[in-house]
């Protein structure tokens, strides 16, 4: 049952939503330019409705009637947290465990089983809410077991990084996960948490997350990696931005390291530092 006070609040909320003017082409272009310059993401004209929908609650929160007003507020240095909120809302992408499973098969069968190094490091360079990073961790745990390894996950959105660190997910994210992994590396929720699970603390201890803007120089403290996953991100960049990002990440690979993109993406003619060895899988050259 909804109480009267809730109905009043709901009615007031609807009135605020109705009072917001439709986003104009000019306003949308302001957000297009902002997110492109900050994150390298090229929002197509068809994303205008998506932008308006994702930002509408922020206009309501501040009692603003136009998207232009919100743009000015979010880019005002007096509201630095709101700028990050805007970035969070416009860069969040959906993901799930063991997406494009052949990449994990390759990692297990053709990289990890023959690896004889000291500390194996993998970077999930657009980790979103963490499913990819933990999928990588499960693959490493199964193959390398107690040997020295680590997974680093990064994203531009602070909101998804917080969720990733928490490691709690809905059971509907498991379509591609081996059921044995669920039993071995996850704790299923009970009672009020039924229908969800949490990645086990021991595995979470081997995975770290931090904010990285791929449009800027990679912090040297991050170090070098044996494998970098950058999947379902390049599709949002134009060719010039793709080249910059790929070159930047390639410099973070160890010699003979592997670079993995989505099957729907391509980096042909973007760099001389990576050579294709399989569809969507590249190896660092010595050029």
Q: What is the set of active-site residues?
A: 54, 155
Handedness of CA 158, 161, 162, 168 (dihedral sign): positive
175-214: b (≥16 Cβ within 10 Å) or e = eebeeebbeebbbebeeeeeebbebbeebbebbebeebeb
Q: What DSSP state is assigned to residue 107?
A: I
Q: Which residues make Cβ contacts (< 8 Å) with residue 40, sequence separation at least 6?
A: 214, 215, 236, 237, 241, 244, 245
Our CA angle for 142, 145, 146, nearest 5°, is 165
> How many Cβ atoms from other residues are within 10 Å of residue 84's Cβ?
16
| Among candidate residues 210, 206, 253, the one with its CA nearest the CA of residue 229 | 253
Phi, psi of 26, deg, nearest 5: -60, -40
């Amino acid at each position: 049952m909804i109480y009267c006070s809730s109905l009043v609040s709901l009615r007031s909320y609807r009135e605020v939503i109705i009072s917001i003017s439709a986003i104009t082409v000019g306003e949308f272009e302001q957000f297009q330019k902002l997110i492109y310059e900050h994150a390298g993401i090229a929002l197509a004209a068809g994303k205008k409705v998506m932008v308006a929908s994702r930002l509408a609650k922020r206009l309501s929160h501040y009692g603003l009637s136009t998207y232009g007003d919100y743009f000015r507020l979010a880019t005002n240095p007096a509201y630095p947290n709101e700028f990050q909120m805007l970035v969070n809302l416009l860069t969040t992408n959906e993901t799930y465990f063991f997406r494009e499973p052949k990449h994990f098969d390759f990692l297990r069968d053709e990289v990890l089983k023959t690896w004889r190094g000291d500390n194996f490091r993998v970077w999930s360079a657009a980790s979103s809410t963490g499913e990819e990073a933990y999928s990588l961790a499960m693959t490493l745990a199964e193959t390398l077991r107690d040997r020295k390894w680590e997974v680093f996950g990064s994203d531009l959105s602070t909101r998804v990084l917080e969720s990733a660190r928490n490691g709690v997910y809905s059971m509907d994210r498991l379509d591609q996960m081996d059921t044995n992994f669920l039993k071995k590396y996850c704790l299923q929720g009970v009672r009020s948490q039924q229908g969800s699970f949490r990645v086990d603390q021991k595995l979470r201890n081997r995975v770290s997350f931090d904010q990285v803007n791929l449009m800027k120089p990679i912090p040297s403290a991050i170090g070098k990696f044996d494998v970098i996953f950058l999947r379902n991100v390049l599709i949002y960049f134009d060719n010039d931005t793709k080249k910059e990002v790929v070159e930047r990440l390639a410099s973070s690979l160890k010699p003979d390291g592997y670079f993995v993109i989505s099957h729907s993406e391509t980096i042909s003619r973007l760099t001389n530092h990576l050579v294709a060895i399989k569809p969507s899988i590249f190896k660092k050259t010595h050029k």
